[in-house]
Amino acid sequence: MAGESNTGLVPLIPGIRSGSKSAVLLDYLEKMGPLPIIVRRVLRRILPLDTYLHYFGRHDRGTRKIWSQLAGMVQEKRAILDIGAHVGEFSVLAWVANSESPIFAFEPNPESFEILLRAGKENRFVPVSVAVSDTDGEVAFHCAAVTGHLARENQGTLTSEEVETVESVRLDTWAREANVRVGLVKIDVEKAEPRVLRGMQTLLRDDSPIIVCEVLSDTVGKQIQECLPADYIYFAIDENRGLQPSDTIGRNGWRHLNWLFLPKQMSERVLSLLVK
């Protein structure tokens, strides 16, 4: 199962025959990168909706489906963690799929957290206003509207209005103090994913959670691979074609940013459930 190139998670698009001139052209356009908005508007008008979404829709369309399926598999007493929750979209998806497991959404950006709080009240997950990192204490956080990320060493000079000092926590510390066992984790923290993983080494060893993780560069991918235990296997998430097994972790084009990391001991069972 792990060696197959297409899990069948995303159906073929009706009206576009594989290998046809239309399919070749659309594949070419997709690989060009984000198209100008005027081009996307024209394509939206002339293409069937399913075809447009398949090639030019949001970059995490397939990931969202996989995340929902994974959330539904988590055991009742295991927690689901949404690291870099933004306004809570993935937390809501997890709650819809699994209302029995506790769900915690971590987001340090003050503006995002206000929205997250409202979503948490309506959808019964727990917002946590801290930055998840490899240190307990405080970190510099670059705020940008309702997005943001931990300040980076090579980012250049930022004004005091752009950077805030926020509380930070290692997941190992948080899970021990909260007395939580973890079954599923989503990490989307704008190139700080290795820092999150370095702060959850005990969790990785003891709980072996399934991980869905964004990878924005080959350098970050290499650092992530160094943080993961040897018994994890890697799948790039092709948003149209499903899971692609890989021996290395890296950036896969402009649109396919997300990865699935599975402990070997549960990979066969999880993959068999994902394709049903």
Q: What is the pLDDT of residues 168-206, one digit of tens each?
A: 999 999 999 999 999 999 999 989 999 999 999 999 999
Phi-psi region at 84: left, alpha or beta (left = phi > 0; alpha = psi -120 to 50): left
160 against 60, higher pLDDT: 60
CATH code, 61-274: 3.40.50.150
pLDDT of the residue at 254:
63
Name residue 245's amino acid. Answer: P
pLDDT at residue 5 tops 60:
no
Q: Are 234 and 261 in contact (CB under 8 A)?
A: yes
Lowest mean pLDDT among 164-173, 185-194, 233-242, 256-265: 233-242
d(CA 4, CA 140): 42
Query: What is the per-residue pLDDT across 36-65, written as a single tens digit (0 to 9) for each?
Result: 767 667 766 777 766 666 566 556 888 999
The residues, ordered by sequence, that sit 6+ positions from 208 with a Cβ below 8 Å of its Cβ are: 229, 231, 263, 265, 266
pLDDT at residue 163 tops 90:
no
- Give this prediction's pTM: 0.78
pLDDT of the residue at 65:
92
Q: Which two tokens stand for residue 113?
A: 């957290």
DSSP class per residue in 217-258: SHHHHHHHHHHS-TTEEEEEEETTTEEEEESS---BTTTB-E
